[in-house]
Amino acid sequence: MSKLRVHSLALSLDGFATGEGQSFEAPFGHAGGRLMEWFFPTRTFVGMSGHEDEAVGAGTVGVDDAFASATERNIGAEIMGRGKFGPQTGPWEDDSWRGWWGDEPPFHTPVVVLTHHERPDLVVGETTFLFRQLAPHAALELATELADGRDVRLGGGPTVVREFLEADLVDHLHIVVVPIVLGRGVRLWDGLEGLEERFTVEVTASPSGVVHYVFSRRP
Amino acid sequence: MSKLRVHSLALSLDGFATGEGQSFEAPFGHAGGRLMEWFFPTRTFVGMSGHEDEAVGAGTVGVDDAFASATERNIGAEIMGRGKFGPQTGPWEDDSWRGWWGDEPPFHTPVVVLTHHERPDLVVGETTFLFRQLAPHAALELATELADGRDVRLGGGPTVVREFLEADLVDHLHIVVVPIVLGRGVRLWDGLEGLEERFTVEVTASPSGVVHYVFSRRP
C-alpha cells in the first residue's frame, strides 16, 4: 500500500516553517538558511549537491544524516506547492522558469506541482513536473498512480503540508525542530489542534541541537 | 551572584504554555493536565504532593525527574503572575483566597505576586506571599533582596516569563516541549524573535516523549 510521506520539514521553536518575505534571493525569507543548517553537513546533502570533493568531505553520518537519508527511500512521485517550484505568483508569464535545481533536479520522479495556473508538463533531466489544479485527495490519487507502487513524498511548503494533514492523508510526518525563534513567517501547526491523537510520535534529539519528530499515522 | 531561573515551563509543539478558558476548575484551560503529564510520575512531584504511599510508588528518577528536581535547588524567593496565584481578575473581593496549595504551599520562601491590585502580605505555612504592582526590574530587585544570596525562581505564567525575557533578565530558562498541538491558549515565544542569540541551548529528549530545552544566558 503506497504511503504519503513528509520528510525533513524544519520548524523554528515557535512553529514557523519558513520566514517572512520569500523571494528569488531568499526562498526561506528572513529565516535564510537557519532552518536547514542541520542538513547541510550531512552525507545526504553533500551527495545530492555533488560536493563530495570539497572541504566538507563526504559529510556526517550521525542522527541527522540517518533521518535525512530516509527522504529518498522508495519514493515514486512527489507533490509540492507552487511556492516550492518557484517564487512567482499569478499566471505564468512564459515557460522559461524551470525550477531552482538546474539541469538535473534531485527528484528523478514525476512531481505534481499544485497551482491555480496550469502550464504544460515540463521534463528536466530525469524529473517530469506536472502543473495541476487539484484538491489534496485528487492530487494524491494522481501522484499514487504515477508512483507505480512506491510511496509519494509530500514536499511542502508548510501550507500544502497543513492542507494534507487537515484532510488526514499523511501517513508519515518527519519534523525537525531547530532551536531558534523566528517570530514571523508561515506556521505549520495552525488549525491542527489534537493532531497527536491521530499519530504515534517518536522523538530523537541530535547533538546538532535539532530534534527529530516522527509522526506515524495510527492504523 | 543571584540568578533568575525558570524551571519546567511546559509548552505544546505549537508553543502554547496554557490552554484557552482558564478557570478555577481548569487552571490550564482546555489543555487540562496534558502539559504536565511528564511531571506527575516523577519522584519530585510524588514527594511534593505527599503521595509516597500510593500506587505510583516513590516516583520515577530518569531524565524527567532530573530536570524536575532542579526546580527546588538553591531558591530563595519566587516571582509569579497573579494568574498563577488564583483564577480571579480585577480587585480582590476579600482576602479569603489563599492560593491553590492548601495549608503548606510548596514554595517555603517569600513569593512576589505581580498584580495591579495589591493586598496585605499573606503568610501560609512557610510561604509568605507579597502582592505588588512592580515592573520586571523592580520585582527582581525585591525578590533578589528577599532571596538573601540564593537564586530567584520565575514561576510563570507564560505572559510573565515573556515579559522578563523581553527585559533580558532571565539567566536560566528550562522549557519542556510536549508533543501535542493545543491550537489555542497563551503562547510563550511571541515577540521573542532571535532569543537564541542571547543564550546557549542544550537539548535532551526524554523517553516520555517530551524534550527538555535549557537556555543559559551568554555571559
pLDDT tens digits for range A18-70? 999 888 788 888 998 999 999 999 999 888 766 555 555 689 999 999 999 99
Who contacts B53 (Cβ-Cβ below 8 Å, separation ≥6)?
none
> A157, A18 in Cβ contact below 8 A?
yes
User: What integer pLDDT is reported at residue A27 of this predicted model?
Assistant: 80
The mean pLDDT value for B123-137 works out to 97
Report whether pLDDT(B55) > 80: no
Is A99 within a domain?
A: no
Q: How far apart are CA A65 and CA A48, in angstroms?
A: 12
CB within 8 Å: B192 and A205? no
Identify the weakest region by mean pLDDT among A2-11, B86-95, B110-119, B141-150.
B86-95
Is B68 within a domain?
A: no
CB within 8 Å: A181 and B189? yes
Q: What is the pLDDT of residues B142-196, one digit of tens each?
A: 999 999 999 999 999 999 999 999 999 999 999 999 999 999 999 999 999 999 9
Q: How far is A26 from chain B (nearest CA, A)?
A: 18
Mean pLDDT (chain A, rounded): 93
Is A94 within a domain?
A: no
Q: Does A118 touch chain B (CB under 8 A)?
A: no
**Cis amide bond preceding A15, omega within 30:** no
C-alpha cell of B190?
511571541
Instruction: Identify from A12, A13, A202 which residue to disrupt to test chain B contact, counting B C-beta atoms within 10 A and taking the largest count.
Output: A13
Q: Does B204 touch chain A (CB under 8 A)?
A: yes
**Which of B129, B103, B125, B97 has its CA nearest to residue B114?**
B129
Is B167 within a domain?
A: yes
Report whether pLDDT(A87) > 90: no
Measured between beta carbons, which residues in chain A are less than 8 angstroms from residue B210? 203
Is A12 within a domain?
A: yes
Identify the weakest region by mean pLDDT among A19-28, A137-146, A209-218.
A19-28
- Chain B, nearest residue to A15 by Cα: B14
User: What integer pLDDT is reported at residue B2 of this predicted model?
Assistant: 94
> Into how many domains does chain A fold?
1
> B140, B169 in Cβ contact below 8 A?
yes
> Between B196 and B57, whose confidence is greater?
B196
Is A97 within a domain?
A: no
Indicate the pairing of strand B110-114 with strand B127-132. Answer: parallel
User: What integer pLDDT is reported at residue A49 of this predicted model?
Assistant: 64
Structural domain of B8: 4-18+75-88+105-217
C-alpha cell of A168?
488526514
User: What integer pLDDT is reported at residue B22 of this predicted model?
Assistant: 81
Is A129 within a domain?
A: yes
The mean pLDDT value for B10-27 works out to 90
User: What integer pLDDT is reported at residue A214 of this predicted model?
Assistant: 98
Chain A stretch 7-26, residues whose beta carbon is closer than 8 A to a beta carbon of chain B: 13-15
CATH of residue A33's domain is 3.40.430.10
Is A119 within a domain?
A: yes
Report whether pLDDT(B3) > 80: yes
pLDDT-derived band at B25, boundaries 50, 70, 90: confident
What CA–CA distances, in Å, run from B98 to A122, B95, B116, B139?
70, 8, 17, 21
What CA–CA distances, in Å, run from B56 to A174, A187, B41, B46?
34, 39, 7, 8
DSSP string, A139-183: HHHHHHHHHTTSEEEE---HHHHHHHHHTT--SEEEEEEES----
